[in-house]
Chain A
Amino acid sequence: MYLALFLGPWMLAYALSTIVMGHAWTAPQALALERELQYEANFQAGATPREQARQILVALDLDGAFSVQGPTPEGRLTINRQDLLTPRRIVYSAADGHVTVERGAFQTTTFLNRFHHRRGYDQPFAADWLMAISIDLVVVAMVFWAFSGLWMWWTMKATRGWGALCGVAGVALFAAFAWTL
């Protein structure tokens, strides 16, 4: 019960985001120009695009989880700063040192979508690791709830008949889907 009380917000967010994604209700992310500036890059020789992007983000005081595209043949680097509430796109042009920072307005559907896809231990940031650990906790909790629920059902003799019927129907339907789809 306490595990469920603790993980309630995660379960709510995953359920709502699954509905949003399943019905393609995610609105396109609208971006608005936040600032423009000149950045005098001083990248180390052999720096990868990811290292260059991280250096730019640190200089802009926007350090955190990101993905990077490029550089294009013209030397343009596009950085997607994966902030859950306010995502940003940063474009750096090596030719003239110009940087544009665009900020995404908060939209519930895109926020839920981003939350749902935030996972894994790939990003080197503490918050991302803690999120990934919380997902592992959700996984353990879901399996625990399933089997502790089975055990609690078994201890309540009055519910055995209907419970067995529901359980068998669920397993049969799931097996039919797994076999045919």
Chain B
Amino acid sequence: MSFLLLTRRVHLYLGMFLLPWVVMFGVSSLLLNHTAWFQIGANDWTTLDERANYDVQGPVPGDLRAVAARIIADAGYEPRAGFGAFKPNANRVNINLPSFRHPIRITYFSDQHRLLVERRGFAWGPTLRNMHTHDGYYLHAPGQTAWAVMVDILCVAILFWVASGLYMWWVLPGTRGWGWATLAASALSFGWLLARL
């Protein structure tokens, strides 16, 4: 098998394997570029549980992840898919149990001794946006890490497609003229945007 044929085959088979990710990132980019068009379902949160007189017990208050883990357990969840936690102010802990389709958010209001558990209903826009913006590595869960690895593989594939595409263009002498013109237009447009943005 020649180098050219090998390049063409890897270009093709990689594309076939990663096609769902390419379509997903493409369509979700449209949603992110036109946020106002795709708000349906973004705020469709249903209360699953609300507890008054709740206080988190046990972990050292300064250890946010330990506090969040205890709150999640108290709320009756097992964070198999990992979780995110942050403190927007001194009296509040926000916890996210990530899910593409049905994310859950748990809010602990320490000054009100209140716990609120909500789940978002399914909608295409928010689901695709979740897939696009999912930060898998920091969640420390095997499934999330696997997703992040797939995103890395897609990125490496894109770099390969750009390089192999240039090579495959170069071996077609009949397309060189228009190819050079396109590359020049691309460099000018991209450079202009970088300089002006």
Contact = CB atoms under 8 A, between A and B. Distances in A.
B194 A163 contact: no
B20 A170 contact: yes
A177 to B, nearest CB: 6
A120 B144 contact: no
Contacts of B48: none
B19 A11 contact: no
Given A143-B23, A153-B12, A127 B196 contact: yes
A14 B29 CA distance: 11
Contacts of B135: 21-22
A2 B178 contact: yes
Interface string B1-42: 000000001001111111111111111011011110000000
A45 interface: no
A105 interface: no
Nearest first, the 9 A-B pairs at minimum CB distance are A142-B26, A174-B20, A127-B196, A166-B16, A15-B158, A170-B17, A15-B155, A9-B190, A166-B17
A84 B197 contact: yes
B185 A6 contact: yes
Contact of B137 (A16, A22, A118, A166): A22
Contacts of B150: 173, 177
B169 A10 contact: no
Given A12-B159, A166-B16, A6 B21 contact: no
Nearest to A3: B182
Given A1-B165, A142-B23, A181-B98, A118 B197 contact: yes
B152 interface: yes
Contacts of A131: 193, 197
A115 to B, nearest CB: 8
B123 to A, nearest CB: 14
16 contacts: A4-B165, A10-B190, A11-B161, A11-B162, A12-B158, A19-B152, A19-B155, A22-B152, A132-B33, A136-B33, A145-B22, A146-B15, A146-B22, A153-B16, A164-B16, A178-B131
